[in-house]
Amino acid sequence: MILPPDPQVRLTTLTNGLRVVSERMDHLATASVGIWIAAGARHEHRDEHGLAHLIEHMAFKGTDSRSARQIAEEIENVGGDLNAETTAEVTSYFARVLGEDLPLALELIGDIVTRPAFAADELEREKQVILQEIGSYEDAPDELIFDLFMEQGFPDSVLGRPILGTPDSVMALSQASMRSFLARQYRAPAMVVAAAGAVDHEALVAQAERLFGGLSAQQPEQAVACPYHGGDMRQKRKLEQVHLVIGAEGVSFHDPLHEAMHVFAQVMGGGLSSRLFQELREKRGLCYDVHAFFTPFSDTGIFGIYGGTGAKDAGQFTSVMIDQLRQAAAQLEPAEIARAKAQIKVGMLTARESPTRRADQMARQLLAYGRVPSGQELSRRIQSVDQDSLKQAAERLLQGQPTFAVIGPHTGLPDFTRLQGDFVPL
């Protein structure tokens, strides 16, 4: 299966370097539009922990010409939905609206991104909201476990810190630090305006020029390297399940093994037929959720396996996880490789059929690669993954130091030295 061509994709670069990309979908009455900025938690300085996420929140709290309530009402008056997200390397602001309201949505996004007021009273209140957000996250062990895992994988580096910050670090942030982050990171060459659905490219470009044309054309400050380390982090907590993640350093999205590592993660734990699901849930009945993930960044990546199981089974669960990883690294069947590729390709096609996911996909591709690869190219790249590249990808995982993170009432887990000893090629 080859993904269809995309003749409707249009890309324009403004004079200051900001890129505008769109894909018109003639049959849709709605559109998604937003701005994606290559500035995330890892662009924070040491003393700015939680700043990228705080700025994302504060964008909604008023601009030079609109109050927080006006922002909310203007977009929702037309039935629109405005949202934002902060990840390690990207902050995005996006909306879903009727096609005719796309200019209104982009106008609001332009206002909150380029002219936030950062009012002192709103800042103090919003810090309280973020403390509540941190609290709700603390109460969700199946989310929190991924923060512990990253913290142990990339200790003493901005990539290993929770994106939300800590209560202390958030309380210490100031209006001045927000202004300084915006000035050095929210720069045109690091920005993509993307839209998909009922969109007119020329109008989009003209509006983007008006809203963002005055932004600095200088390159933003680059993120510092975040060396992977690995290790062991176990948190005892009274819970029904032991939540655990085991993994290792992955590769960046520029790495030749990038596609192979995606396919390997899919084979390991990407669906009902995956090795981990079959072995740990179907054959042994030890869990409800088990899955593998691979998250590439610009210069490194992380691969892991998550599972939740009962306290008494946690030891067996961990051993089987590692055993499955070693077996897959040693030998994969042609049928499961073909199946994983089909799943990834149909998944990409499904995403391309949703305007929200399509705008997100194109924007992130531009930030990562400087271009929007065609469907045919992406299909070919996935299709070219073979036994050799899969073996290389798996060996990369098993060569390094593992990372192990656990939350829950765990007992009977192997100690880390034992686990390191097992985490090697067969």
Give whichever of 72 and 206 is closer to a copy of itself, judged by the CB atom: 72
Among 220, 250, 355, 402, binds a copy of itself (CB under 8 A): 355
3-state class (DSSP) for residue 83: strand
- Torsion region of 164: left, alpha or beta (phi above 0 gives left; psi -120 to 50 gives alpha): alpha
Distance CA 117, CA 43 (A): 22
Identify residues 377-406 at the interface with a copy of itself (CB under 8 A). Answer: none
- Residues listed for the chain: 426
- Cβ-in-10-Å burial (0-12, 13-18, 19+) of 66 comes to middle
Give whichever of 129 and 183 is closer to a copy of itself, judged by the CB atom: 129
Q: Does residue 299 interact with a copy of itself by CB under 8 A?
A: no
Pairing of strands 19-24, 9-13: antiparallel
- Cβ-in-10-Å burial (0-12, 13-18, 19+) of 326 comes to middle
Stretch that binds a copy of itself, among 110-118, 119-127, 185-193, 215-223 (CB under 8 A): 119-127
Sheet with 231-236: list strands edge to edge: 231-236, 403-408, 242-249, 301-309, 290-296
Give whichever of 118 and 277 is closer to a copy of itself, judged by the CB atom: 277
Give the other-Cβ count within 10 Å of 198's Cβ: 21
Give whichever of 257 and 287 is closer to a copy of itself, judged by the CB atom: 287
Rounded least distance, CB 70 to a copy of itself, Å: 9
Q: Does residue 225 interact with a copy of itself by CB under 8 A?
A: no
Among 5, 120, 136, 369, binds a copy of itself (CB under 8 A): 136
Give whichever of 249 and 279 is closer to a copy of itself, judged by the CB atom: 279
Q: Does residue 4 interact with a copy of itself by CB under 8 A?
A: yes
Tokens 């390709």 belong to which residue?
A: 345
Residues 6+ apart with CB under 8 A from 244: 145, 306, 307, 308, 309, 314, 317, 318, 404, 405, 406, 407, 408, 410
Identify residues 309-328 at the interface with a copy of itself (CB under 8 A). Answer: 309-310
Task: For residue 73, indicate whether it is catalytic.
Answer: no
Q: Does residue 55 interact with a copy of itself by CB under 8 A?
A: no
Identify residues 263-282 at the interface with a copy of itself (CB under 8 A). Answer: 271-273, 277-278, 281-282
Which H or E run includes 302? strand 301-309
Among 114, 252, 354, 392, binds a copy of itself (CB under 8 A): 354
Q: CA 238 → CA 210, 234, 310, 392, 408, distances in Å?
A: 55, 13, 12, 40, 6
Among 23, 48, 56, 126, binds a copy of itself (CB under 8 A): 126
Distance CA 207, CA 201 (A): 10
Give whichever of 282 and 415 is closer to a copy of itself, judged by the CB atom: 282
Hey, what are 175's tokens? 């209006």
Rounded least distance, CB 282 to a copy of itself, Å: 6
- Active-site annotation holder among 23, 44, 56, 122: 56
- Cβ-in-10-Å burial (0-12, 13-18, 19+) of 369 comes to exposed
Among 350, 376, 399, 411, binds a copy of itself (CB under 8 A): 350
Query: Could you give the string, one character per residue 61-90, with x where binding to a copy of itself holds by CB under 8 A and - elsewhere?
Result: x------xx-xxx-xxxxxxxx--------
Among 134, 171, 172, 203, binds a copy of itself (CB under 8 A): 134
* Among the listed residues 198, 251, 210, 211, the one whose alpha carbon sits nearest the alpha carbon of residue 358: 198
In contact, 248 and 403? CB cutoff 8 Å: yes
Identify residues 138-197 at the interface with a copy of itself (CB under 8 A). Answer: 138-142
Among 6, 209, 289, 422, binds a copy of itself (CB under 8 A): 289
Rounded least distance, CB 236 to a copy of itself, Å: 13
Give whichever of 12 and 166 is closer to a copy of itself, judged by the CB atom: 166
Q: Does residue 120 interact with a copy of itself by CB under 8 A?
A: no
Give whichever of 319 and 354 is closer to a copy of itself, judged by the CB atom: 354
Q: Does residue 308 interact with a copy of itself by CB under 8 A?
A: yes
In contact, 116 and 212? CB cutoff 8 Å: no
- What residues are annotated to the active site? 56
